Amino acid sequence: MNELHTAYSRSADQVIVRQNTLVRQVYAWMAAGLAVTAFMALVTLSSPAIFNAVVGNKLVFYGLMIGELALVFTLSGAIHKLSAATATLIFVAYSALNGITLSVVALVYTANSITSTFVITGGMFGAMSIYGYMTKKDLTSWGSFLFMGLIGVVIASVVNIFVGSSSVSWVISGIGVIVFTGLTAYDTWKIKEMAAQGTEGRKPAILGALTLYLDFINLFLMLLRFTGNRR
């Protein structure tokens, strides 16, 4: 009986170690991605040549956006075929491109508004991440609900590009805040569960970092549209 208890304790300890290790790696890579994004945004804003090339030429801007989507789909869809080095390079490249395109936010919102929203986003993201990691509940049911909400936000956003309604944009942003707040908790929980099932290594950490990075950036943008002060 004692041997069984000891074996179970060791197994439980191993699961906790795997969870802590993977989550630590995920957040380290996510922080690195955000740092790259912030750096590239500052470089773009401080260089009139680069900034004008991005903002003044729609082909360049939309080309960068398409490039970002291609990198996300490549990393998400082919992660098992990619080497760890290639996956890392794609994640860093995506973070850099995102920093360049996000620099246009400075044209629309005040610096104080961007800073305060970033701090609020960090607080909300941190709180929901802690909940997702600490909760004993099974959050599987959240997945389908939040995915439907995400699809709804995407479709409504595309439609509103042509409609151009500020009221609709406000509603979309409010719903988006709820969706990405929930996704932060759900994705953190999912990463923890993956680790419990034996998932480990740099590639899963990079994929998890990309997932939470997207949650953070989208939550930031939705909050900014919802409460940000425009120039």
pLDDT, tens digit (0-9, with 9 covering 90-100), for 90-111: 999 999 999 999 988 888 888 8
List the chain residues with pLDDT less than 70: 1-13, 228-229, 231
pLDDT at 5 (0 to 100): 47
pLDDT at 4 (0 to 100): 44
pLDDT at 20 (0 to 100): 82
pLDDT at 220 (0 to 100): 94
Question: Residue 230, SS3?
Answer: strand
DSSP-assigned beta bridge partners for residue 230: 109
Give φ, ψ of 73 to 5 degrees: -65, -35
User: pLDDT per residue over 16-38, tens digit each?
Assistant: 887 888 889 999 999 999 999 99
Domain ranges in the chain are 2-227
pLDDT at 8 (0 to 100): 41
